[in-house]
Structure 1
């Protein structure tokens, strides 16, 4: 019997467990709906390295060809590669087959529009409506679409990223780089880029088979082997990617994770040292990036949580840089989407230019610690609790754009009710972990 918890249909696309909810029929039908929505046209298709990728891909191809689409198949590549190629080929859209940092049994379809960004809420709802009604275009034998392989997609993406750094300066630095690509898409892309930059690599988990050697989310508790590798090989820096290589975590030369929030902070600091521009981040992203921007005279715009919301804000405000505190760097000159390769290239450029170690660069940045927790409450009590918080903190700086965010002098807390579970997610930030945890606990007590 299928577990309904194993299927998620959201603004990000459709995600499920292969062999349970993510069936060939469901994949086919969702893809037919997307092809119908696009009215045929060119579609860029890429996938991460999961063992279920080929099965999912063949179902996707059947749906797109049936709808009359011209498919350009990149095969294994990063999520941002597909975003970039949609723009390069002026395609009607794109599909990435990836469940990102979810376990190996999961897979998913992420849909991209003609602007090279993920579908908006309105667009994905149109696709869902077509899926639910089974209202598909089914082409006759003489109007079927086509499939062409394109083997230069990775090279196109990396070359575009490297256009924004001084390759020779990085080469002269002769960096030794430790790498953990978690056997994902980065396994076939990151060595290609680092070779172009003249880096010596010490790599683990580089077999592109999608069998993840550890929990694939690039957070400190999952990167202990990479930290050891940095120290044992005396590497200058360590990089870790998630399976579809849109998120980036960094280890300094001492073998310490700098924290996902500081991936974006380091890039923001570097870019704003070169050029003035606006910075767009979500409400739960560290104040470190905001403090850096203010120090450099740059305007900061906060958005609702979610990559699509940040991208929308970046387009609206013509931002220089943006992203999320989960290692998601968004540099619109390359892509309106999280791109770990941009992060790698710009951090190496920063180190090459300043001749500073990563730990020295990070030591110069504002110091904050984030704590994430949650409180279980019934749906009825959640609204009451949030109203109570607003009353208690009516004299503090409150933002209600996305839940409730309360800013204090040296700290903040952000509360968001889940759409699917009877919980309130709580994120707190302060100069120390202890202070951030205490702030979260204080808010919890006020809600109960």
Structure 2
């Protein structure tokens, strides 16, 4: 039985780079989640009778909103919903399900790497039939609808037993509750040389994987321990918790420091990795070396041919604009396309669908390929393990040899979190006003070559995305990038990206922050960060 509920618009339901993200108390308001979900459905066409995939990362409010989404899908005419058991479904696994079962699209409930809990973060995003995040034309339509919505439709049926695998019905719509791990694990086994990895682990190679009490736990435990033979306990914090155990599920040197310290210890494992709240990000650490996401993308691209799925070579490599240019050097040597896009995985979708790119990456700990249309944390870890197994070298040696061959891109990101929004917008506006006057100016031994506000011209559909971040490029090849993040839920996060290329192997052992010191000082000088935000130092440095 379907009922129509009268409602009024809520301000600010504008999707960011990864859907709508707000604090749990905001989403808990009557009609709030329903308004947004109905706005998604109202912005779509020709979905009647078709299949919708639904799942989330298990954070607080996940199960409740899944029940709401199922009932609204039934009331709006979908023919079938596929939902992960317990409401669990990693973002890359959701993309795989949409693609494998040719679903119309999917609703993913997550705030990715943001904290979870009664007063923390929640999110909803819509993925299209290719398995990727909705493009801007759809998210813009959703936002416009949220400003006008006056009713939503929902079934009065009982809740679906999410913990029981099986087939159910909500009114005339079928609901299939499925094991969220099985199809994803099978895909990974097709892509990689599990036998080589298994032999390496059996030979004493030790791995530690921190699932951060988030969604990747069940996937990593099945693949790394059950299928690849890693000893029990290799995967820790593997039970998804509503509040991620009170920790911040962001795999970086701040929030995964315990893993880093363990791998760096004298008797620690050979390789460490972590994934985030919804399973699409990764951090990788080798004995004696932290591997930056930008370097990881470049090294994976240079060695991807060692994995069965990529042995024929890559069509191209795509990276987000703030990501270091290390991958570009690999693409140049391989003679393949190199693409620079705005931040947000949705911008890679056209390149992947058109066969222009095979591997993609973002400096924010996201890497993936054309196997799905989302970044994929566990995929990146398995590709690293495949490369380590085939080359028979340590991660440390592989990184050092890569730098010797391609040069080293010293790189760091400085995040200033929770800045007052007006102050952050004022800082970016002032930077944009200076752009035309910057070329030719000097700071220390730096001379500005070019400065712009990055605009992306999609080579597939011709669309243009403007105002994607301020870039200041120097004659030495160094650069500083400023942009505001679209993944937070309160205030604004200013991200400052700093990059310096060093071709001389004799200089590859220098400290990153010391190497970038002049660029760091320039960023403060040109943007007036302290003056405009009141911040004396970044919140997080990665």
Do they fold alike, i.e. is TM over 0.5?
A: yes
- Give the Cα–Cα distance (whole angstroms) in 2 for the partners of residues 416 and 241 of structure 1: 24
Unaligned runs of 5+ in 1: none
* Aligned pair partner of 2:112 in 64, 87, 100: 100
The TM-score normalised by the length of structure 2 is 0.74
Tell me the CA shift for residue 304 of structure 1.
1.6
Tell me the CA shift for residue 154 of structure 1.
1.8
Tell me the CA shift for residue 166 of structure 1.
1.3
* Aligned pair partner of 1:355 in 374, 377, 392: 392
Question: Residue in 2 aligned with 1:271?
Answer: 304
Quickly say closer, same or farther: Cα 1:113–1:19, change in 2 above 3 A.
Answer: same
Quickly say closer, same or farther: Cα 1:269–1:72, change in 2 above 3 A.
Answer: same
Quickly say closer, same or farther: Cα 1:266–1:135, change in 2 above 3 A.
Answer: farther
Question: Residue in 2 aligned with 1:148?
Answer: 175
Structure 1 residues 370-426: Cα deviation after superposition (integer angstroms, max 9, x where no partner)? 242569858567545334243221671445323332333342112336789788643
Tell me the CA shift for residue 349 of structure 1.
0.6
Tell me the CA shift for residue 243 of structure 1.
1.0
- Give the Cα–Cα distance (whole angstroms) in 1 for the partners of residues 11 and 250 of structure 2: 20
Question: Residue in 1 aligned with 2:402?
Answer: 365
* Aligned pair partner of 2:327 in 289, 292, 310: 289
Question: Residue in 1 aligned with 2:58?
Answer: 49
| SS of aligned partner of 2:25 | coil
C-alpha contact (below 8 Å) 1:371/1:433 kept by paired residues: no
C-alpha contact (below 8 Å) 2:214/2:276 kept by paired residues: yes
C-alpha contact (below 8 Å) 1:388/1:447 kept by paired residues: no
- Give the Cα–Cα distance (whole angstroms) in 2 for the partners of residues 16 and 423 of structure 1: 14
- Give the Cα–Cα distance (whole angstroms) in 2 for the partners of residues 232 and 162 of structure 1: 32
| SS of aligned partner of 2:52 | strand
Structure of greater relative contact order (alpha carbons < 8 Å, 6+ residues apart): 2
- Give the Cα–Cα distance (whole angstroms) in 2 for the partners of residues 240 and 288 of structure 1: 22
- Which range is displaced more, 174-183 or 416-425? 416-425
Tell me the CA shift for residue 202 of structure 1.
2.0
* Aligned pair partner of 1:312 in 343, 350, 355: 350
C-alpha contact (below 8 Å) 2:209/2:274 kept by paired residues: yes
Unaligned runs of 5+ in 2: 1-9, 157-168, 441-447, 456-467, 503-511, 529-542
- Give the Cα–Cα distance (whole angstroms) in 1 for the partners of residues 326 and 106 of structure 2: 34
Aligned residues: 443
Question: Residue in 1 aligned with 2:471?
Answer: 405
Quickly say closer, same or farther: Cα 1:23–1:447, change in 2 above 3 A.
Answer: closer
Quickly say closer, same or farther: Cα 1:50–1:268, change in 2 above 3 A.
Answer: same
Q: Hey, which of these two has a bigger chunk of helix by percent?
A: 1
The TM-score normalised by the length of structure 1 is 0.88
Question: Residue in 2 aligned with 1:172?
Answer: 199
* Aligned pair partner of 1:336 in 354, 373, 388: 373
Quickly say closer, same or farther: Cα 1:71–1:397, change in 2 above 3 A.
Answer: same
Question: Residue in 1 aligned with 2:92?
Answer: 80
Tell me the CA shift for residue 281 of structure 1.
0.6
Question: Residue in 1 aligned with 2:240?
Answer: 208
Structure 1 residues 218-276: Cα deviation after superposition (integer angstroms, max 9, x where no partner)? 1111112212433476322111000111001012124x432333332332221267424
- Give the Cα–Cα distance (whole angstroms) in 1 for the partners of residues 206 and 495 of structure 2: 39
Structure 1 residues 4-26: Cα deviation after superposition (integer angstroms, max 9, x where no partner)? 99976335222222233443521
Quickly say closer, same or farther: Cα 1:145–1:71, change in 2 above 3 A.
Answer: farther
Tell me the CA shift for residue 203 of structure 1.
3.0
- Which range is displaced more, 280-289 or 406-415? 406-415
- Give the Cα–Cα distance (whole angstroms) in 1 for the partners of residues 485 and 194 of structure 2: 45
- Give the Cα–Cα distance (whole angstroms) in 1 for the partners of residues 155 and 113 of structure 2: 39
- Which range is displaced more, 22-31 or 213-222? 22-31
Question: What do you get for the CA RMSD once the two structures are aligned?
Answer: 3.1
- Which range is displaced more, 277-286 or 314-323? 314-323
- Give the Cα–Cα distance (whole angstroms) in 1 for the partners of residues 274 and 303 of structure 2: 20
